[in-house]
Amino acid sequence: MKTNINKLFAGMFCAACLFSTTSCIDETFPTDSATAEQLAASDKATEAMVWAMPAFLNDFETVAGNHYEWGYGSIMHIRDVMTGDMTVVATGYDWYSNWAANKNQGENSANTQFIWNYYWKFVQTHNNVIRTINPESATDNQLGMLGAAQAYRALAYLDLAQMYEFLPNDVTTGVKSDTIDVTYYTVPIVDENTTEDMSRYNPRVHRDSMAMFILNDLNNAEKNIVHLSITDKVLPHLDVVYGLKARLYMWIGDYENAKTYARLAIDNNTGHVMSQSECLDTKAGFNTADPWMLASITMKEDAVVKSGILNWASWMSPEAQYGYNAAGATSMIDAAMYNRISNGDFRKLMYKAPEGHALEAKVPYIDAVWAAELPEYAAIKFRPNGGDTQAYAVGSSTAYPLMRVEEMYFIEAEAAEHLAPGEGIELLTDFMTTYRNPDYVVAPGVEAIDEIVFQKRVELWGEGLAFYDIKRLDMSVTRGYEGSNHDAQRQFNTDGRPAWMNYCIVITEKNNNLAIEGWENPDPTGKYTPWTGN
């Protein structure tokens, strides 16, 4: 299974420990020679800047050329391996092992540097557009593009806020001194008006201030994005703005608004709920943007595709015979999670059934001979483009979802359950019986919120979102149990949200931004002991 990937590795390995000295200060200020006035005078020039936003989703070798540096999809994968829902058997090819094993998560780590640098470069692409367009003099087309930039920036800051916000956990504390408590603090805000001097002393902001900043972007986006004439799914539209508002309100516990905006996203969505045939299609299953609200799309000309191994399909499509999955770093669903899914739920057919299981012969594979070599529970949810398992230039020219309307149904159900116990379960049951399992019933004794969120995690497995629900709801991660398919050194069992879900800010930011000194999140590295069977 390693033949093809070894060919691609030749000449590609970079120094894994190269360490960048950049910070968000270096990443957030434009150096373009064209002035904002010149760019604003041309719709075409503005549009070129707008296309830089979805292009950056697949940024290649952001910091030092490590093999996890292939863009937003990589960070989605990072978040997933930090939960208990996804497991990857430990191999020499697993570049995500540090995140899964809670190693090297502190301020001096190259792992930490990648995430920090990526997001601030991403924010820069949004700020470039926003600072260029004057809403008072902009054309309707430019207003639409401004709305897209405001929505994308809200997405980036909502990610940053949820990843870096310090929340209480079982092994670290946010209290640093009598005057410093980092609990509920997120990241600094850098917008289109922030100067370099301002960034030299730019404190982390409390979640309340961050929520107001994000909401302001989304309110402006809602007003402007209706003018956007570009229909491509790689740019956000009104349904995505509503969806981001629903995510925002869930984060801060405003369930009334979360429910309202989830429904608005459903009613205005530009995609549709994926059917069983779409989900299980061996050629187009979860690799085409048509059913989704927002997506990232890669093409054969993109550097991540040309790399052969540093892209979504390489890491997320075990049926591709040329990528990291093929080398043994196979993404699998947690065994306990798999066993909890009803056999009548077709989503269970997205994973290789264990030998002797009732579904063993029903899982649809592209190549049954190749599939026989995959480990049990391997996730075949994300197919290589066109079902091409051999030619990486074809198979990796694919799409992966950033927002699907299905998520909104689960947000609506959870919010409703918080507001009126029983209502959310009714909404969940309606969705499940209509779209996923006609015989679905809630098992006796199952707690309602847990069941709603579990079904959401099944639906969105591998899409980088389970992390947020686990952290938000103070849920435990349980990887150590009889029959676990997690590597023994990663079988951590936490009491509530894991400390490692409070991301550390890199030392380079602290060195350049004096307001961060003393306000860092504590390093969670090595704070948990693997389960030993007791």
How do residues 358-413 score in pLDDT, each as one tens digit?
999 999 999 999 999 999 999 999 999 999 999 999 999 999 999 999 999 999 99
Of the pLDDT bands very low, low, confident and very high (cuts 50, 70, 90), residue 44 is: confident
Of the pLDDT bands very low, low, confident and very high (cuts 50, 70, 90), residue 266 is: very high
pLDDT of residue 34: 46
Tokens of 6: 């070894």
Average pLDDT, the chain: 93
Please report which helix (H) or strand (E) contains residue 401, including its range: strand 399-403
pLDDT of residue 273: 98
Taking 70 as the threshold, does the pLDDT of residue 21 lie above it?
no
Q: How far apart are the first and last CA of the chain?
A: 36
Tell me which residue has tokens 């350049």. Answer: 512
In percent, the amount of the chain with pLDDT more than 90 equals 89
Taking 80 as the threshold, does the pLDDT of residue 36 lie above it?
no
Cβ neighbors of 136 (< 8 A, separation 6 or more) are none
As a whole number, mean pLDDT of residues 460-471 equals: 98
How do residues 186-198 score in pLDDT, each as one tens digit?
999 999 999 999 9
What is the number of alpha carbons within 13 Å of residue 464 lying toward its C-beta?
19
As a whole number, mean pLDDT of residues 21-41 equals: 53
How far does Cα 315 stand from its chain's mean position? 14
Strands 294-297, 331-333: pairing is unpaired
How do residues 111-168 score in pLDDT, each as one tens digit?
999 999 999 999 999 999 999 999 999 999 999 999 999 999 999 999 999 999 999 9
**DSSP class per residue in 324-363:** HHHHT--EEE-HHHHHHS-TT-GGGGGBPPPTT-TTTTT-
CA distance 68 to 57: 13
Taking 50 as the threshold, does the pLDDT of residue 278 lie above it?
yes
Taking 90 as the threshold, does the pLDDT of residue 440 lie above it?
yes
How do residues 323-369 score in pLDDT, each as one tens digit?
898 899 999 999 999 999 999 999 999 999 999 999 999 999 999 99
Helical packing angle, 423-435 and 405-419, nearest 10°:
150
CA distance 188 to 141: 31
How do residues 500-527 score in pLDDT, each as one tens digit?
999 999 999 999 999 999 999 999 999 9
How many helices (H) and strands (E) the chain has is answered by 24, 4
Tokens of 88: 């990857």
pLDDT of residue 45: 84
Residue ranges with strand state E in 230-329: 294-297
Q: Which amino acid is at 155?
A: L
How do residues 65-101 score in pLDDT, each as one tens digit?
999 999 999 999 999 999 999 999 867 899 999 999 9
pLDDT of residue 26: 61
**Of the candidate ranges 19-23, 174-178, 457-461, the one whose mean pLDDT is the lowest:** 19-23
pLDDT of residue 29: 53
- Residue with more model confidence, 181 or 42: 181
Tell me which residue has tokens 């994973």. Answer: 351
pLDDT of residue 159: 98
Taking 50 as the threshold, does the pLDDT of residue 19 lie above it?
no
As a whole number, mean pLDDT of residues 242-254 equals: 99
pLDDT of residue 37: 57
